[in-house]
Amino acid sequence: MTPDLMEAGAQRLEAFKARQPNPAGSSGDRGASYGRVARVGEPDFAHGVALYLDEISVSFDGFKALNQLSLTINVGELRCIIGPNGAGKTTMMDCITGKTRPDSGQCFFGSTIDLLRLSETDIAQIGIGRKFQKPTVYEPLTVFQNLELALRADRRVRASLFHRLSGAELDRIGEVLTLIHLQHEAQRTAGLLSHGQKQWLEIGMLLMQDPKLLLLDEPVAGMTDEETERTAELFLSLEGQHSLVVVEHDMHFVDQLTQGRKKVTVLHEGSVLAEGLLSEVQANDKVVEVYLGR
């Protein structure tokens, strides 16, 4: 089936629907999945699922980093993932962002995009942003320039060569600068920022991309208590507009984020050990055993 035929079919369908009287019990404008035309490269979130991992397995030289991992993140959800060292948290992020190819399993973004077929660059462009464990910013560039590079725009060579910032783009950079509390550091070289500020800058760079899904690997490592608190506030304000997956060791931070009502996932030896509220999970015998040793 060629795109032309599909387009023609979609038009016939629209025309047909326009002729039909609205039947009782119809689901409004949103038809069942057959009626909607999936656009290429645009994630489909109509089913409420942002990220779907199914039985992902990865092994490195016989060591199973991920073992039949299944996980679902809903649209707008903020999910914390905890687990001891070596539980496979970073490998999971590598699989989602295309850095590592799993040996088996499925990984979907929305209900139509198969992430295992895309490159890192494509995955970033369709709306998955990733923050590394170690803050990774472009140190010789200024804070402003760091954000400018992350700005959602045409990523091709020629477009970058002749790029001029528009007023709206400048406003957007200003907005994010305020959000990450770096408005007074805009013209400072990023390498001169404190560790916590670099973490924020990297988060700011993610926000500039305007991603649908944010993957944050230990975002508050090395931050002061005050900075941690501000970060929690920032993430909570993003919840709903973006889906967030936060991998974290700091239980206090996880508690701030989940506010006692959000789900937490515990990974252990490459698969999900437990899922539930933080209080439930912390009371779980298996989890206690894993964390405290047998």
Partner 1 sequence: MSSAVLSSPRGVLLGAKGWTAVLAASLVLLVGVPVLNLLVPADSVFHLGDYAVSLLGKILCYAICALAMDLIWGYTGILSLGHGLFFALGGYAMGMYLMRQIGRDGQYRMDLPDFMVFLNWKELPWHWTFSDSFAFQLLMVVAVPGLLAFVFGFFAFRSRIKGVYFSIITQAMTYAAMLLFFRNETGFGGNNGFTDFKRILGMPIATSEMRVFLCVLSAAVLILFFLMARTIVNSKYGRVLQAIRDAESRVMFTGYDPVAYKLSIWTLSAVMCGVAGALYVPQVGIINPGEMSPAASIEIAIWAAVGGRGTLIGPIVGAFFVNGAKSWFTVAFPEFWLFFLGALFIAVTLFLPDGIIGLLKRRKKEGA
**Which residues are near partner 1 by CB under 8 A?**
97, 99, 119-121, 124-125, 129-130, 132, 136-142, 144-145, 148-150, 155-157, 160-165, 170, 173-174, 177-178, 183-184, 186-187, 205, 209
> 152 or 262, CB closer to partner 1?
152
* End-to-end Cα separation, the chain, in angstroms: 58
Q: Are 112 and 291 in contact (CB under 8 A)?
A: no
Q: Quote the CA–CA distance of 184 and 143 in Å, as a whole number.
A: 10
Q: Is 244 exposed, middle or buried (0-12, 13-18, 19+ CB in 10 A)?
A: buried
Decide whether 132 or 291 has the Cβ nearer to partner 1.
132
DSSP-derived secondary structure letter, 194: -
* Residue number with CB closer to partner 1 (56 or 176): 176
Q: Which is nearer to partner 1, 23 or 140 (by Cβ)?
A: 140
| Dihedral of alpha carbons 150, 108, 40, 122, sign | positive
Q: Please report how close the Cβ of residue 262 comes to partner 1 at its closest, in angstroms.
A: 26
Which C-beta is closer to partner 1: that of 144 or that of 258? 144
Judged by beta carbon, residue 63 or residue 162, the one nearer partner 1 is 162
The nearest distance, CB 152 to partner 1, in angstroms, is 8
Taking alpha carbons only, the member of 110, 106, 141, 137 closest to residue 126 is 110
Cβ of residue 234: shortest distance to partner 1, in angstroms?
Answer: 18
The one-letter amino acid at 152: R
Task: Read off the tokens for 136.
Answer: 């990774």
What whole-number distance in Å separates Cα of residue 209 and Cα of residue 128?
9
> From the CB of 40, what's the least distance to partner 1, in Å?
17
- Please tell me the distance from the alpha carbon of residue 43 to that of residue 165, in angstroms, as a whole number: 27
Instruction: Provide, rounded to whole angstroms, the least separation between the CB of residue 229 and partner 1.
Output: 24
Least distance to partner 1 from the beta carbon of 52, Å? Answer: 20
